[in-house]
Amino acid sequence: MINNIKKSVQSFITSLKPTYAVEVDLYHVIPGVPVKSNKERHDFDKGEFQQAKTFFDKAIVKTSDLKLAPAEIKLIKGKKKVLEFKHFGPVDDIRPSKRKRR
């Protein structure tokens, strides 16, 4: 009985936690050709911050070992909030700018 209550409370608490994702953007730059980007998003379930953080750290190590540049790796909480990010190479100069319409 007590174990059932603990499990139900634990599942309720987990349902309130946010989801996490790791987004990896690789940019392909060829002179005279528009910049192409390859986005990959790895989603994690609610409350799996530790797994997402571990994957984020491994992605950074692997990208630096392979010397993939320009690249951008982001750890995202929920749908939009970026907790951590790492840039490899001149990502700010290459990334297409988002213009705001007035």
Would the pLDDT of 93 be above 90?
no
pTM of this structure:
0.77
Q: What is the C-alpha separation between 83 and 90, in angstroms, rounded?
A: 21
pLDDT tens-digit readout, 44-58: 988 888 999 999 999
Average pLDDT over residues 28-39: 87
pLDDT at residue 5 tops 60 = yes
Quick one: the chain helix, strand, coil %, rounded to 5? 35, 30, 30
| pLDDT recorded at residue 51 | 93
Q: Are 59 and 51 in contact (CB under 8 A)?
A: no
